Amino acid sequence: MSPPGDLLATLTAAPGRADRVRHVEVVPARAGRPVDWPDWVDTELRARFAAVGIAAPWSHQVEAAAHAWAGRSVVVATGTASGKSLAYLLPALTAARQGAARTLYVSPTKALAADQLRALEALAVPEVIASTYDGDTPIEARDVARAHASYLLSNPDMLHRSILPGHHRWAAFLRALRFVVIDECHGYRGVFGSHVAQVLRRLRRICATYGSEPVFILASATTATPEISGSRLVGTSVVAVTNDQSPRGETAFALWEPPLLGGRRSATRAADGGELVGRGEHGAPLRKSTLAETADLLSDLVAAGARTVAFVRSRRAAETVATLTRSALGPVEPSLADQVAAYRAGYLPHERRALEAKLQSGTLRGVAATNALELGVDVAHLDAVLMAGWPGTRASLWQQAGRAGRAGQGALAVLVARDDPLDTYIVNNPDAIFGRPVEATVLDPDNPYVLAPHLCAAAAEAPLTQDDVALFGPSSPQVLVSLTERRLLRRRESGWYWTRHDRAADLVDLRGTGGSLIRLVEGATGRLLGTVDPARAHATVHAGAVYVHQGETYVVETLDLDEGVAVVRPEQPDHTTTARDVTTLRVLDEDRSVMWGEARLVFGSVEVTSRVVSYLKRRFGTGEILGEDPLDLPARLLRTRAVWWTLPDWRLRDAGIAEEEAPVAAHAAEHAAIGMLPLVATCDRWDVGGMSTARHPDTELLTIFVHDGHPGGAGFAERGYEAAPSWLRATREAIAACPCDEGCPSCVQSPKCGNGNHPLDKIGAVRLLDAVLACAPAEPVGR
């Protein structure tokens, strides 16, 4: 088997390929720094770890464990497979062995909790009883778990719906609760993360009534400022441990950019098969599709004998890559084509095991997979990993890249860029991945829309007293007044009471943003497939929308907003859809602001009126535009948070932007800034919106707004404000570095522009951003 450098050479050998590699980062092997077991760790426990092959802990594991043991909440933010679980298992299991101390382990998915349970069962530590407590746990087993578990594995939804509302039955458990483990805590972001943050505040309050004050142990992927995100999540200060001392193999990490396609306006099938040539909106150049490029690379790797997984976003994409790869390999060597398969979510356990076995044995060499593989299947010993497009966050990127690595051999990881500003920026600015992280996990528990239902739930759990108010954050006094006015809570001498007969916890679904969720129903069978957040429904499940749900592709037949139902049918049309909206915006309040010379940067509250007006159909895989259909949907009013910046007219003139160019330049800068926000905040461009104008009635100046897409905000705009120097510099770079002449999807064109990406001026946008950044500080603005 070839080492990573040779594999990469195989990929770049074909004509025209070499200049598609924008960067190669060799992440060197690291030996790992083992340390002695701390004295306080139970001796039986050491023996058990030794029995499963852990002779000594790595130093970061002991550092984190020691904080927790000493009663300090801690976040361990280190790489994939760095053994974060030992950091919480050492204190949790030692405490369990010493007496009645209990641990609550919270994970975002059942699959992860199941993995953890298997690991604990393999350890078989005497006197430690581990039980899961989730929606699938049978009633009898729930009673056993409640009475006896010293290590309870659950999730935020169960905490919210079951454990906290029924805390009287959990009294013994909560009284003895010493540690709360929050695994994969970077997953708690945006609105969902904000809800979970409030659930954890409720947990802390109820524990206090039982006389316990649990220590939080958080496990996170590496991000910027894990201690800040971690503290926001649990509501109390946490120490960060980031010095990863686990061993790893060498990885060659290549950043790959598919080529710009030439000429013709209409799509034609190229002679070499599979590949399509086309032009985008207003004749913008398009790049070769990420999927076609990924399939080409997968073919070459399989032909070279490398075991490779290609990660894509949907089952549809997985099937496309597998089909393209097989048809490329077939004519060369039919037996190779048989070694390629697609893999998706929803396989049964035995199907997964069969696939694992085939990959291990080498009867299967190339797999195109959705992220299902990330959590569901254990594949070690891959030679290479391909990633078709930025997977959304650094954490996901390293999780996917971390799949590659044969003992002592090293591995190849290749990120293939999609045609958008973020991907383009990342492959051309390797520091974004390999340098100090700027992407922070973002949440906003103080959002009144999130807070209100949790104050009700908390009051139902135990009347809220004046002393409790601070725990729930600075918005709580005001939200309590409004809840009392709306007669959801009753104010009495001793505090606030929930006196209604319904369950307060049912007021909110942790995964939604308030309002009732839109149900996704299969028309032919009446089967309920899932739900869609109402904040996103107009844009994602309008009639005619192509909607991907858990990797499966559906077409929406009708959307009934009054009934809250979208009727869909399974179908794989040759196109995808993107909704376009038009927005107006009113400033309500300014929270914070800063002057950068003449430019003013503000974070505050806004009221956004937006209407989805049409949707665009693009050819699947190539992005070529097939047409645009109008939609008739009501306007939505959204009170949310925004970051905005203004420039005076004379400053624009000085920067060489004529009066008539100003709105066009602002429009282009707004699009690119939205596309680049995920660089600094864990969101995607669909979580945020924007608006720009040469003269806004509230500011009376040229203004560019970027706002959160959820009622009350989700923390993304706020993070944009705080990281504005990095964010806007990267935005400027992304536009300036793009080789197109007049704007394209890689720089200033936006897939959701309600004005059809017209007019845009990329040169003006660069000048405008230069003017904004002229007096910007080098470092983030901070709080």
- Give residues in contact with Zn ion (CB under 5 A): 738, 740, 744, 746-747, 753, 755
Q: How many residues does the chain have?
A: 783
Smaller CB distance to Zn ion: residue 224 or 672? 672
Preceding omega of 34 cis (within 30 degrees of 0)? no
Instruction: Output the six-digit token pair for 400.
Output: 């996917």
| Chain centroid offset of residue 15 CA | 36
Q: Which is nearer to Zn ion, 372 or 740 (CB)?
A: 740
**What are residue 277's phi and psi, to 5 degrees?**
-115, 130
C-beta of 579 vs 753, nearer to Zn ion: 753
- Closest distance to Zn ion from the beta carbon of 757 (Å): 6
User: Rounded to whole angstroms, what are the CA distances from 542 to 313, 567, 698?
Assistant: 21, 10, 32
Nearer to Zn ion, 131 or 749 (CB): 749
Burial 7-26 (b: 16+ CB within 10 A, else e): bbebbbeeeebeebbbbbee
Q: Could you tell me how far CA 217 lies from the centroid of its own chain?
A: 21
- List of residues 6+ apart from 383 with CB closer than 8 A: 1, 2, 4, 7, 301, 306, 307, 308, 404, 406, 409, 411, 412
Which CB atom, from 575 or from 580, has the smaller least distance to Zn ion?
A: 580
CA distance 712 to 641: 6
Nearer to Zn ion, 738 or 765 (CB): 738
- Beta carbon of residue 746, minimum distance to Zn ion (angstroms, whole number): 5
| Other C-beta atoms lying within 10 Å of the C-beta of residue 55 | 9
What does the alpha-carbon distance between residue 429 and residue 302 come to, in Å, rounded to a whole number?
Answer: 29
By CB atoms closer than 10 A (0-12, 13-18, 19+), residue 266 is: exposed
Which is closer to Zn ion, CB of 496 or CB of 705? Answer: 705
Pick 583 or 646: Cβ nearer Zn ion? 583
Q: Which residues contact 126 (CB under 8 A, 6 or more apart)?
A: 44, 97
CB nearer to Zn ion: pick between 280 and 720: 280
Q: Which is nearer to Zn ion, 440 or 747 (CB)?
A: 747
Closest approach of Cβ 578 to Zn ion, in Å? 12
N-term to C-term CA, the chain = 51
Please state the closest distance from residue 607 (CB atom) to Zn ion, in A: 19
Residue 327 vs 609, nearer CB to Zn ion: 609
Q: Distance (Å, rounded) from C-alpha 485 to C-alpha 503?
A: 19
Rounded Cα gap, residues 103 and 176, in angstroms: 8
Q: Measured from the CB of residue 621, what is the shortest distance to Zn ion in angstroms?
A: 20
CB of 759: closest distance to Zn ion in angstroms? 10
Report in angstroms the alpha-carbon separations of 412 from 233, 238, 488, 543.
35, 36, 57, 43
CB of 544 to Zn ion, least distance (A): 21
Minimum separation from the CB atom of position 753 to Zn ion (A): 3
- With b meaning 16 or more CB within 10 Å and e meaning fewer, what string describes 732-769? bbbbeebebebbbbbbbbbbbbbeebebbbbbbbbbbb
* E strands, 348-410, in order: 366-369, 384-388
Identity at 398, one-letter amino acid code: W
- H-helix or E-strand containing 579? strand 575-596
Residues 308, 341: contact at Cβ < 8 Å? Answer: no
Residue ranges with strand state E in 183-288 = 215-220, 239-241, 251-256, 268-269, 276-277
CB of 705 to Zn ion, least distance (A): 12
Pairing relationship of beta strands 177-182 and 102-106 according to DSSP bridges: parallel
Question: Judged by CB, which is closer to Zn ion: 67, or 767?
Answer: 767
CB of 741 to Zn ion, least distance (A): 8
Comparing CB distances to Zn ion, the nearer of 7 and 432 is 432
The nearest distance, CB 559 to Zn ion, in angstroms, is 24
Measured from the CB atom, is 233 or 740 closer to Zn ion? 740
CB proximity list for 303: less than 8 A, separation 6 or greater: 329, 332, 333, 336
Q: Which residues of 177-209 are buried (b: 16+ CB within 10 A; e: fewer)?
A: bbbbbbbbbbbbbbbbbbbbbbbbbbbbbbbbe
Nearest approach, Cβ of 663 to Zn ion (angstroms)? 11
Q: What is the dihedral of CA 678, 682, 683, 685, to 10 degrees?
A: 10
For Zn ion, the closer CB: 585 or 753: 753
Closest separation in Å from C-beta 744 to Zn ion: 4
For Zn ion, which is the closer residue by CB, 2 or 609?
609
Considering the complex, what minimum distance in angstroms separates the CB of residue 161 from Zn ion? 41
Write down the least CB distance from residue 281 to Zn ion, Å. Answer: 11
Question: Going along 493-538, which residue ranges are E strands?
Answer: 495-497, 518-522, 528-532
One-letter amino acid of 511: R
Q: Tell which phi-psi region holds residue 294, choosing left (phi > 0), alpha (psi between -120 and 50) or beta.
A: alpha
Pick between residue 182 and residue 674 the one whose CB is nearest to Zn ion.
674
The values of phi and psi at residue 550, to 5°, are 50, 45
Closest approach, Cβ 280 to Zn ion, in A, equals 10
Instruction: Using the structure block, give the residue that is written with the tokens 């920026």.
Output: 425
CB of 739 to Zn ion, least distance (A): 7
Diameter of the chain by CA atoms?
A: 82
3-state secondary structure of 215: strand
Quote the least distance from Cβ 615 to Zn ion, whole Å. 15
Q: Smaller CB distance to Zn ion: residue 209 or 755? A: 755
In terms of Cβ atoms closer than 10 Å to its own Cβ (0-12, 13-18, 19+), residue 705 is buried
